[in-house]
Amino acid sequence: MLSASIRIAARLVAVAALAALTAGCFQPMYAERTDGTPGLREKLMGIEIPPVDKANASREARVGVEIRNALAFKLYGTATGMPPTHKLVLRFSSGRSSLMVDTNTGLPTSENYSVDAQFNLVEIASNKSVMTGTTFSRVSYDLPGSYQRFARARAFRDAEDRAAQEIADNIQTRLASFFATGT
């Protein structure tokens, strides 16, 4: 009985020793640096996000503005950042597909909205691409009865907005990872 409690105590001491050894290695991603180098927040604020190249007054142009605005808020927290050190070029395509169709009316009752995005982070000083990536979003939405035209339009717009937020979240996470680790 005594030897079992000694083994448990020895294991707890070993775990505590390992935790103490690795405690100095941990630093939160968004913490301010004490060595004078810019922190992650400052690096993200140095990313310029030019407007997405889509035809004016199109649905995709509106989604592009939503993605750009969501990214700007996530990166800067305000309308503008610091003087740019990098430029983020975005390209995306979107689509809709009917998931379920009402057999009586032939109209869809549930649809899926998709956005596939590609992004390229370019260093402004050298005009070299330092990171590229792709991301996607798939959101579904229900369509109310066949006579509710405006509710259908609003459901589609809400799906576009949710997809834009998800794309912005994914890109912001990838950019933060890049600037925190350099890969």
Task: Give the CA diameter of the chain.
Answer: 78
C-alpha 34/C-alpha 71 separation (Å) is 27
- What are the structural domain ranges in the chain? 38-181
Q: What is the CATH number of domain 38-181?
A: 3.30.160.150
For the full predicted model, state whether its pTM sits above 0.85: no
- pLDDT one digit per residue (tens) for the chain, 183 residues: 557 788 888 888 888 877 777 766 666 666 676 676 678 888 899 999 999 999 888 999 999 999 999 999 999 886 566 889 999 999 999 999 887 877 887 777 888 999 999 999 999 999 999 999 999 999 999 887 666 788 888 999 999 999 999 999 999 999 999 998 876
DSSP 9: H
The one-letter amino acid code at 108 reads P
CA dist list (Å): 67 to 62, 137, 166: 9, 12, 9
